[in-house]
Structure 1
Amino acid sequence: MKSNYIIVFFSLLLALTTQAKLKVFILAGQSNMQGAGQVNINPKSHTKGKGSLEYLVKDPKTAAKFAHLKDKKGQWVTRKDVWIRYDERQGGLRPGFGARNTTIGPELGFGTIVGNAVEEPVLLIKTCWGGKSIMVDFRPPSSGMPPKAMMEKMLGGMQRREPKATIKDVEAKVGFYYREMLSGVAQTLKDLKKYYPAYDGKGYEVVGFGWHQGWNDGGNMDNVNAYEENLANLIKDIRKEWKTPNLPIVIGVSGFGGRNQKVDRRLGIIAAQHAVAKRREFKGTIASVETRDFFRPAEESPSRQGYHWNSNAETYYLIGESMGKAMVKLLKK
């Protein structure tokens, strides 16, 4: 009987140790993963702050949904169970981890959902840079080099600025931000105590990857036509790099313009992103999230930058929230 108790005790101890592992999610992409959703009301804006996070928590139409983001004193809540590292910034998840400390990206909605769903502590690592394509900047190793004509065009442009530039210099730019992404993740995981001070040394697990990108690739049809294959290759390459063959991945599609979007290039990127999630080889491990319904017109937003979702905080939050819900479903499979 005594030996049975000992077995049960050590089984429970092992379970608790496993549960204590830090769960790591990587969020990657370009400027819209960085995030331009305005936090504070700007009384000088053309909408008097409409679409900012501060407006959303005050507006009777949306206050209930966003009430959890502020405490009883009216201050933004900082989570203790969900931390984030983005460039030189890190801390408990709260508004202000967008491209600037006055903006949000998808991380706030995403972190809220996964943080509520996952019992273990959570760390979000954001690796994103504005104005970057998957055709060149995030190009994964499995895609090889871009077409020769594109490389020659890139060389010509580079030589106008740097006459001594060679094709080797062009090759160095291909996939540069893919490598930077891997480097940023590796550096964070190597020094977890710095980026998650409560880390107890019980180990970590990379459990999910979120991707929100596509504006730059939607600039020409060559990029659009190659997008599905490039994104599929990126997924396979990061899974190999992180030794996670079935890593759950969520793609927030590039739904700029909402349901009124008619530009074939923009629609082509959306179709390619959905197509990746439907590939048989990725069955049950990847989800694409439709974002067009989250687009808000400039008349309801802090800015008129359609390519940055008009800086609408509700849009960014809803994108992250939906990506988080999709991620939680994948984690349960």
Structure 2
Amino acid sequence: MEKKSVNTRGIGLLGVLITILLFTAFTPKGPAPLKVFILAGQSNMVGHGEVEKGDRGNLNYLVENDEKGEYRHLVDRKGDWKVRDDVFIYFNHQEKIHTGGLTVGFGANENTIGPELQFGQLVADHFDEDVLIIKTAWGGKSLADDFFPPGAAGASGYKNRPISPGDTGYYYVQMLSIVNEVLGHLEDHVPSYKGQGYEIMGFGWHQGWNDRINQEANDAYRENMIRFIKEVRKDLGVSNLPFVLATTGMSGWEETHPRALSLMEAQLAVADFPEFMGNVKVVETRDFWRDAEESPANQSYHWNRNAESYFLIGKFMGESMIDILQP
């Protein structure tokens, strides 16, 4: 009787494929890389939005008069400030390192906020993975001098090595030094970090006052900012790193000074640079201005220390960042 042959080779391949699929489906994945964001700039990135001081415009006032539920997520059921356990901040301010879960008090002192508060809320909600925000900001610093990128100084970089405050580019170098230091010791700042690696996801910038009061710095701002973005991407090793800039919109739409207007125009124009289309966004902040009568102080260059202004800057920076990150 004739024997029929059986194609055992095909069955074997099928079995291997099934085994691979089953192994992939039921093998637990390792922890996903930590998501890292960098926030940088001058005093308004440091943050001077008051939590308690003043009769109006502080964060307590906003929460207590929150008819639309915009601030409800900042407090727990007892009314205490909520501390998130999925997003962490590192801020070395005036040689005092401040780290921990996202909450109020990561501004200039423990009773102030900056854009980091609502920015952090939004990016943390966007990701399943934990988030780290590295904040590098110093008051009274210009892009034309303190944050001046090496590439803008010429092919060979800085004429003199920036080794002390006041040297051209000193705070650009400090910014990168702090970022690299933190990234090298993530286990010290993120409790959940177990060596799973990290991804630098985006960069936020809020600065401009010191460039808008100097004509030469004002004239060079757009080109300096374009070079700054390119240099940061190169130095961090992340091409097309998403950038979000918040304009220096203090005084609101009633601002008429030519330097202030031209500085904001320069900032808004950065996103139109062909290389930046789709990966750089600029937030117009003049809508966020609140008059002194509605604020804790009459201090225009610090947004009158109004917590709502800083909250909105962080909110719209966060939304713009997510817009870039979404496919």
Q: TM-score, normalised by structure 1?
A: 0.87
Q: Displacement of 1:5 after TM fit?
A: 4.2
**After superposition, what is the alpha-carbon deviation per residue over 1:79-112, rounded to whole angstroms, capped at 9, x for unaligned?**
0111000010100000000011110000001001
1:101–1:171: structure 2 CA closer, same or farther, 3 Å change rule?
closer
Corresponding position: 1:323 with 2:317: yes
For the residue of structure 1 that corresponds to 2:244, the secondary structure is strand
Q: Does 1:86 align with 2:99?
A: no
Distance 1:142 1:288, change over 3 A: same
Instruction: Note the 1:129-148 alignment, pairs <5 A.
Output: 129-144=138-153
Aligned-partner Cα distance in 2 for 1:175–1:54: 38
Q: Which residue of 2 aligns with 1:226?
A: 220
Q: Secondary structure at the match of 1:71?
A: coil
What is the CA-CA distance between 1:227 and the residue it aligns to?
A: 0.3
Tell me how far apart the structure 2 counterparts of residues 66 and 104 of structure 1 sit (CA, whole Å).
14
Q: Tell me the CA shift for residue 61 of structure 1.
A: 3.8
1:207 aligns with 2:201: yes
Q: Does the aligned pair in 1 maintain the 2:163–2:170 contact within 8 Å?
A: no
Higher relative CO (CA 8 A, sep ≥ 6), structure 1 or 2?
A: 1
Aligned counterpart, 2:10 = none
Q: Verify: 1:22 aligned to 2:34, yes or no.
A: yes
Partner residue in 1 for 2:243: 249
Q: Distance in 1 between matches of 2:26 and 2:152?
A: 45
The share of aligned pairs that are identical, in percent, is 46
User: Cα deviation per residue 1:118-138 (whole Å; 9 max; x = unaligned)?
Assistant: 111100000000000000000
User: Which residue of structure 2 aligns with residue 155 of structure 1?
Assistant: none
Map of 1:1-333 to 2, 5 A cutoff? 1-8=14-21, 11=24, 16-17=29-30, 20-40=32-52, 42=53, 45=54, 48=55, 50-61=56-67, 64-87=69-92, 88-144=97-153, 173-333=167-327
Q: For residue 247 of structure 1, report the CA deviation from its aligned partner.
A: 0.3
SS at match of 1:271: helix
SS of aligned partner of 1:120: coil
The 1:5/1:322 distance shift into structure 2, 3 A limit, reads: farther
Q: Deviations over 1:260-310 (max 9, x none)?
A: 111111111111111111111111110001110011000000011100000
Q: Secondary structure at the match of 2:323?
A: helix
Unaligned runs of 5+ residues in structure 2 are 1-13
Query: Aligned equivalents of 2:294 and 2:216: distance in 1?
Result: 34
In structure 1, how many angstroms separate the alpha carbons of the residues matched to 2:317 and 2:177? Answer: 24
Shift in alpha-carbon separation, 1:8–1:221, aligned structure 2, 3 A: farther
For 1:5 and 1:202, how far apart are their aligned partners in 2? 29
* C-alpha deviation, 1:3, in angstroms: 3.0
AA aligned opposite 1:235: I
- 1:9: Cα distance to partner? 5.1
**SS state of the match for residue 199, structure 2?**
strand
Distance in structure 2 (CA, Å) of the matches to 1:37 and 1:2:
63
Q: How many residues align?
A: 306
What are the superposed Cα offsets for residues 237-270 of structure 1, whole Å, 9 maximum, x if unpaired? 0100111111000001111111111111111111
CA distance in structure 1 between the aligned counterparts of 2:252 and 2:88, rounded to whole angstroms:
31
After TM superposition, give the deviation of residue 4 of structure 1 in Å: 3.0
The Cα offsets for residues 41-72 of structure 1, whole Å up to 9 and x where unpaired, read as x3xx4xx2x1111111101445x110111000
Report the secondary structure of 2:70's partner residue: helix
- 1:160 corresponds in structure 2 to none
- Closer/same/farther in 2, CA of residues 12 and 331 from structure 1, 3 Å limit: farther
What is the CA-CA distance between 1:167 and the residue it aligns to?
11
AA partner of residue 54 (structure 1) = N
- Larger of the two Rg values belongs to structure: 2
| Cα separation, 2, equivalents of 1:14 and 1:322 | 39
Separation in 2, partners of 1:125, 1:84 = 6
Cα gap change, 1:235/1:72 in structure 2, threshold over 3 Å: closer, same or farther?
A: same
- The alignment's C-alpha RMSD in Å is 2.2
